[in-house]
């Protein structure tokens, strides 16, 4: 018998996928094991790295963020939170180069979906038992971060319906999981994730009609049914949307507009390197006055400025904490993902599996970009989930292109 390849990197990823929204200790252990096994395999097998455009964009994002953090440290700011970017960025970068079969990719995706579902059930149970005041996934924390995590999982679950290769029982299970995820998303009560879900739905309808008329009609029917249920049931997020002003529409500034004004004033103090990742909460009226003593501005004016623990915008938050260098590094990452979405769009309609993973890639980009306009995406656990979904999608799509090229060259 031949020697069996245990693939410790894959099992580390399995542990990470299971633990991510549930257990803190095993999640951190999985990240550490993945790093150790990746370094060992890369060195001993002389694995080629730096050959993936998206992988290089992730690397630029991490290195650029580190440079920004070093600059902030030199200027006297704490930079401890940079480890979050290093952690999820490193996991994403390593996964792009770890050899994973299609079966293992599907296994990891399944574990990610199941662990999120378990976390949602646990969150409901904690609410029922009175142990928690808000609907929060156990290892994710804040309700907005839980909402982002759930939406990312939904964006990875819906495309699986395009496979059309399930036994009835498996299809029923998939629909039940999707229903639980949707209920969890509504319970998280986030307007930003609702907007991103609308964008994802529009993309699904568009792709559905590109695939076939029948597929487009079925996709549209599903989206309209969900919309009808949303308006009929009127969950709390429905009233949150209808009862609050939209940014930049009313003459009266919304809370987010005031926070963004504050962010803009703070950025001017340290435009190149920022004030250090995780330090947004040091921004106060008193601090702004110290940074800009020559300006006669009333930073206590509640009609113009509002102070928060973060900017409620991923891009502005990065701009003030990482400066121009950190901001440009983030833009490189997003454009790298957008490039992959564009590059892999060719011929995906010919293969349901390729289409599913292309949609996962696109949905992930939509989520972190659209929600990022109003909340802090790419953060802690949902930063890790984002990178895992990106890497799994890219690995699968690269297999598809490779197999297609071989078939085309066969005479």
Contact 98, 45 (CB under 8 A): no
Contact 200, 189 (CB under 8 A): no
Residue 164 scores a pLDDT above 80: no
In 302-361, beta strands by DSSP E: none
Return all residues near 302 (Cβ < 8 A) that are at least 6 apart.
258
Distance, in Å, from the CA atom of 104 to the CA atom of 178, rounded to the nearest integer, reads 21
In the chain, DSSP finds a helix count (H) and a strand count (E) of: 15, 0
* Cα-based angle 213, 215, 220 (whole degrees, multiple of 5): 95
Residue 140 scores a pLDDT above 60: yes
How does pLDDT run across 183-194, given as a tens digit for each residue? 999 999 899 999
Task: Tell me what pLDDT residue 409 has.
Answer: 57
In 99-149, beta strands by DSSP E: none
Distance, in Å, from the CA atom of 376 to the CA atom of 142, rounded to the nearest integer, reads 11
Q: Taking Cα atoms as reference points, which of 221, 281, 273 lies closest to residue 68?
A: 273
How does pLDDT run across 194-204, given as a tens digit for each residue? 999 999 999 99
3-state secondary structure 213-240: HHHHHHHHHHHHHHHHHHHHHCCHHHHH
Task: Tell me what pLDDT residue 67 has.
Answer: 98
Contact 67, 325 (CB under 8 A): yes
Distance, in Å, from the CA atom of 394 to the CA atom of 391, rounded to the nearest integer, reads 5
Return all residues near 306 (Cβ < 8 A) that are at least 6 apart.
255, 258, 259, 261, 262
Residue 13 scores a pLDDT above 50: yes
How does pLDDT run across 208-263, given as a tens digit for each residue? 999 889 989 999 999 999 999 899 988 888 878 877 777 766 777 889 999 999 99
* Contacts within 8 Å (CB) and 24+ apart, 292-300: 292/265, 292/268, 297/265, 299/262, 299/265
Q: pLDDT class for 5, splitting at 50, 70, 90? A: low
Using left for φ > 0, alpha for ψ between -120 and 50, and beta otherwise, residue 5 falls in: beta
**Across 105-115, average pLDDT:** 97
**Across 295-324, average pLDDT:** 94
What are φ and ψ of residue 276, in 5° steps? 95, 135
How does pLDDT run across 253-283, given as a tens digit for each residue? 889 999 999 999 999 999 999 999 999 999 9
Task: Tell me what pLDDT residue 252 has.
Answer: 77
Q: Which two tokens stand for residue 403?
A: 């197999």
């Amino acid at each position: 018998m031949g020697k069996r390849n245990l693939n410790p990197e894959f099992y580390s990823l399995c542990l990470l996928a299971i633990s991510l929204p549930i257990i803190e200790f095993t999640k951190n252990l999985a990240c550490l094991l993945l790093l150790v096994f990746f370094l060992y395999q890369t060195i001993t097998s002389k694995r080629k790295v730096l050959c993936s455009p998206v992988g290089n964009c992730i690397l630029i994002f991490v290195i650029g963020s580190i440079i920004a953090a070093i600059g902030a440290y030199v200027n006297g700011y704490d930079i401890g939170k940079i480890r979050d970017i290093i952690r999820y960025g490193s996991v994403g970068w390593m996964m792009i180069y770890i050899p994973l079969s299609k079966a293992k990719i599907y296994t990891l995706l399944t574990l990610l979906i199941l662990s999120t579902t378990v976390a949602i059930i646990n969150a409901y149970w904690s609410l029922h038992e009175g142990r928690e005041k808000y609907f929060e996934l156990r290892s994710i924390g804040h309700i907005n971060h839980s909402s982002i995590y759930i939406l990312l999982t939904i964006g990875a679950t819906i495309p699986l319906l395009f496979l059309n290769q399930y036994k009835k029982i498996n299809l029923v299970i998939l629909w039940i999981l999707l229903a639980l995820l949707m209920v969890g998303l509504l319970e998280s009560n986030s307007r930003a994730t609702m907007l991103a879900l609308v964008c994802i739905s529009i993309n699904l309808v568009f792709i559905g009609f590109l695939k076939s008329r029948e597929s487009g009609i079925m996709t549209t029917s599903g989206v309209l049914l969900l919309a009808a249920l949303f308006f009929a049931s009127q969950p709390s997020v429905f009233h949150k949307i209808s009862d609050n002003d939209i940014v930049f529409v009313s003459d009266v500034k919304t809370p987010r507009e005031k926070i963004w004004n504050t962010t803009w004033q703070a950025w001017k103090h340290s435009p190149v390197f920022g004030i250090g990742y995780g330090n947004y909460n040091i921004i106060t009226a008193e601090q702004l006055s110290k940074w800009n003593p020559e300006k006669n501005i009333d930073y206590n004016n509640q009609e113009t400025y509002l102070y928060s623990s973060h900017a409620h915008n991923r891009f502005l938050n990065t701009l003030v904490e990482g400066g121009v260098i950190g901001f440009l590094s983030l833009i490189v990452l997003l454009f790298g993902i957008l490039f992959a979405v564009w590059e892999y769009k060719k011929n995906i309609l010919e293969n349901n599996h390729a289409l599913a993973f292309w949609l996962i890639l696109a949905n992930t980009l939509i989520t972190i970009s659209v929600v990022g306009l109003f909340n802090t995406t790419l953060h802690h656990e949902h930063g890790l989930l984002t990178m895992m979904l990106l890497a799994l999608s890219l690995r699968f799509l690269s297999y598809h292109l490779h197999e297609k090229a071989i078939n085309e060259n066969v005479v």
